[in-house]
Structure formats: C-alpha cells, structure tokens
Amino acid sequence: MTTDSISDTLTRIRNAQAVSKEIVIMPFSKIRYKVLQILEQEGFLNKVEKQNSLLQVSLKKNIQGMERQSKPGQRIYVRSKDIQSVRGGYGLSLISTSQGIMTNKEARKRKLGGELLFNIW
C-alpha cells in the first residue's frame, strides 16, 4: 500500500492545530522534509528538526487553511505563466518543478512549471 506523504503531512498539521498541539512528530521522507523546510522559511512553521527517522515540527497558529491540489489519482500540472496567486497573495502554492519543490512566486520568477502540490494560507 502506498500512501500520499504530502496529504498525510497536511492532515497531521491540520489535526494538531485543531487540538492546539504545538509539536507534531511524523516519519521522515525527503519530500516531506523539503516541503516542511519551505513552510518554515515562509513563516508558516516555527521549526523543523530531523531526528533519526522522524521529523519534529513546531507549529505556529497562523495557518488558516490548506488544500491539496494534485493527488495520486489526478495529477494537476501548471505552466509557469498559468501559476496563480493564492488568496490575493496572502497564501502560497508549492510546486514540484524539474529543479525541485518551490513556491509559486519562485517558480513564476524562474519561469518553471510543474505539478501543483497544494495551497496554504
């Protein structure tokens, strides 16, 4: 059975915020770690630490919502000129490009398209 690690990550964060937890622990994967690092850089998370085969994520209270776009059963791809802003620029999208995972703003600036992973605001 394969699981969608990005959806699992978003669900763990959403559930932890619903019960006012400050720290979430989840299994390590490279894609999960990269996504969480970007969210930390963009100010959505306090801290992301790798501990052996686990990730410890310190949450902030500023995440209003998250929405998975591309799913394993239905992939969504966007061209660089079709990348839209999220919530009038208050949120961001994460896009998996040929040069790695990056935000919608960075992908637009580099003129790269790719798979639209999810939106967060």
**DSSP tag of 43:** T
Domains annotated on the chain, with CATH: 5-59 (3.30.1370.30), 66-120 (3.30.1490.10)
Mean pLDDT, residues 83-96: 94
Nearest to 17 by CA among 57, 61, 49, 65: 61
Residue in this structure with the two tokens 């622990």, named with its chain if needed: 25
Burial of 38 (0-12, 13-18, 19+ CB in 10 A): buried
pLDDT of residue 2: 52
Residue 103: half-sphere exposure toward Cβ, Cα within 13 Å = 20
Three-class secondary structure of residue 30 per DSSP: helix
Mean pLDDT, residues 13-25: 96
Question: Can you name the residues that pair with 104 across neighbouring β-strands?
Answer: none
Residue 75 has pLDDT above 80, yes or no: yes
pTM: 0.92
